[in-house]
Structure 1
Amino acid sequence: MNKPSKLLILVGSPRRTGNSATLAEAVQRGAEAAGTKVSLRFIDDFIASFLRDCRTCRLPNGDCAIADPFRTLFFDDFLPADGVIFCSPIYWYGLSAQTKAFFDRTFCYYAASYPDCDRVLNRMSHKRIGLVLASEETYPGAALGIIHQIQEFSRYTHSDFVGVVRGVGNRRGEVMHDPSSPSLAAEQLGRTLFDRKYSDYQFVISL
């Protein structure tokens, strides 16, 4: 019998009951209904500082010297996950600072100066990636920069970027009234993350 896939949902909003969290919970419902093992984490609980200069900041054993639980989030939740869905509000046409800091802080452990970087790089790769965004404005272009960033992260790590959901809302829970039904789309993303077809076709060029 196959083990259930492991999904990590990372919420980059500081609001525990905000629109990003609401959509993250919808992802969780869908994933659990499909038999997926789900962990939902708020990045705020694990990151207390931005990335520093690893050349001067590392502990003697190579670990990060920043005194927060990021290492636990990265090693216990992110690396073992078969799939990761990033849930973030759109702030100034980009990811939240919390979400961006998550990506930046991973550098400490895949940089060549970390003793076990090869194993970390291997475990960072070949995941199924999803993106869920919440914003007040409806302008379609507001999300394009973020989508491109996650797309390039996915390609850089040889992962499959399989779906994007975007909901519109300002006040807490308002995203539930978005007529495009992002909550249902988020639930569907969670349910089908590991089943969705992924393709990234390229020309075959003979030299």
Structure 2
Amino acid sequence: MADAAVRGARKAGHDVETVHLSDYIEGMLGDCRQCRLADGSCGIKDNYEDLLVNRVVEADALIIATPLYWYGMSGRLKTFFDRFFCYTSNSSPHQDAVTKGLTNKRVAVVVSCEESYRGATVGLVTQFQEITRYLHQELVGVVIGVGNSRGEVASDPGRPLDAAEDLGRRLFDIRVTDYRIDTPRSNRVWATSPAAAGAHADDADDA
């Protein structure tokens, strides 16, 4: 599913780099008061800083792929988010650059899940909604594919591979309308010509 989303993004002309968290993350978040170095840097010895500072922060958008593990994201992905704290807290020398670099990104999520029951993934989707809200990011879409064995999602009649590819292709085109009470907005979601708007209004009247 991740490959399908990447394929769609590349078809749209975007440069994409695929990373596997296992190549970068070994240590879990600890108590920063105990393991932070004298200059404020994170003291966990792995390649997380390279991933975060040189890849994630520099990206315009993120496509996040995870299997469903115990009704949540994989442990390594959870650690990826947990350790944002090491780099966004006041004591980190990277705080300003990382905090600025994490915000205002577009985020797409693809999830593989053995269970077709949609309640199984509700908690995970909600978690991504809250993570992106907190970081002032736009969650442009979530695709869920049902399968257990490697590659089995290709047999899902819901065609999640096609949906993931389309999500990647439209990564920067999808309109996200998550309004607040004070959000400036017009009375239209989609830009339309007056004639088209009139036709839609007539259709509504007919209904």
TM-score range, shorter chain: 0.7 to 0.9
If each structure's strand is expressed as a fraction of its own residues, which one has the higher value? Answer: 1
Tell me what 1:88 maps to: 66
> How much has 1:119 moved relative to structure 2?
2.3
In structure 2, what is the Cα distance between the partners aligned to 1:50 and 1:44?
A: 12
Tell me what 1:196 maps to: 174
In structure 2, what is the Cα distance between the partners aligned to 1:199 and 1:146?
A: 21
- Structure 1 residue 55 corresponds to structure 2 residue 33: yes
Q: Give secondary structure in 2 for the equivalent of 1:86.
A: strand
In structure 1, what is the Cα distance between the partners aligned to 2:151 and 2:74?
A: 18
| Cα displacement string for residues 62-82 of structure 1 (whole angstroms, at most 9, x for unaligned residues) | 221111111110011100111
| Cα displacement string for residues 97-152 of structure 1 (whole angstroms, at most 9, x for unaligned residues) | 01101000111000111023122211110000111100111110111111111111
Tell me what 1:99 maps to: 77
CA RMSD across the alignment: 1.2
- Structure 1 residue 73 corresponds to structure 2 residue 51: yes
In structure 1, what is the Cα distance between the partners aligned to 2:172 and 2:104?
A: 12
| Cα displacement string for residues 153-207 of structure 1 (whole angstroms, at most 9, x for unaligned residues) | 11111111110100001111111110000000010111101111011123349xx
- Structure 1 residue 182 corresponds to structure 2 residue 182: no
Q: Give secondary structure in 2 for the equivalent of 1:202.
A: coil
Identity %: 46
Q: 2:4 aligns with which of 26, 34, 51?
A: 26
In structure 2, what is the Cα distance between the partners aligned to 1:189 and 1:76?
A: 25
- Structure showing greater radius of gyration is 2
Tell me what 2:186 maps to: none
Tell me what 1:13 maps to: none
In structure 1, what is the Cα distance between the partners aligned to 2:24 and 2:147?
A: 26
Tell me what 2:107 maps to: 129
- Structure 1 residue 166 corresponds to structure 2 residue 141: no
Q: Give secondary structure in 1 for the equivalent of 2:157.
A: coil
Structure 2: tracts of 5 or more residues without a match: 184-207
Q: Supply the AA of the counterpart residue of 2:89.
A: A
Tell me what 1:120 maps to: 98
In structure 2, what is the Cα distance between the partners aligned to 1:92 and 1:134?
A: 12
Q: 2:24 aligns with which of 42, 46, 50?
A: 46
In structure 1, what is the Cα distance between the partners aligned to 2:2 and 2:46?
A: 24
Q: Give secondary structure in 2 for the equivalent of 1:154.
A: helix
How many matched pairs?
Answer: 183
- Structure 1 residue 111 corresponds to structure 2 residue 89: yes
Q: Give secondary structure in 1 for the equivalent of 2:17.
A: strand
Q: Supply the AA of the counterpart residue of 1:189.
A: L
Q: Give secondary structure in 1 for the equivalent of 2:16.
A: strand
Structure 1: tracts of 5 or more residues without a match: 1-22
In structure 2, what is the Cα distance between the partners aligned to 1:114 and 1:107?
A: 9
| Cα displacement string for residues 50-95 of structure 1 (whole angstroms, at most 9, x for unaligned residues) | 1011111112222211111111100111001111111000011111
Q: Give secondary structure in 2 for the equivalent of 1:131.
A: strand
TM-score (norm 1): 0.85
In structure 2, what is the Cα distance between the partners aligned to 1:33 and 1:83?
A: 15
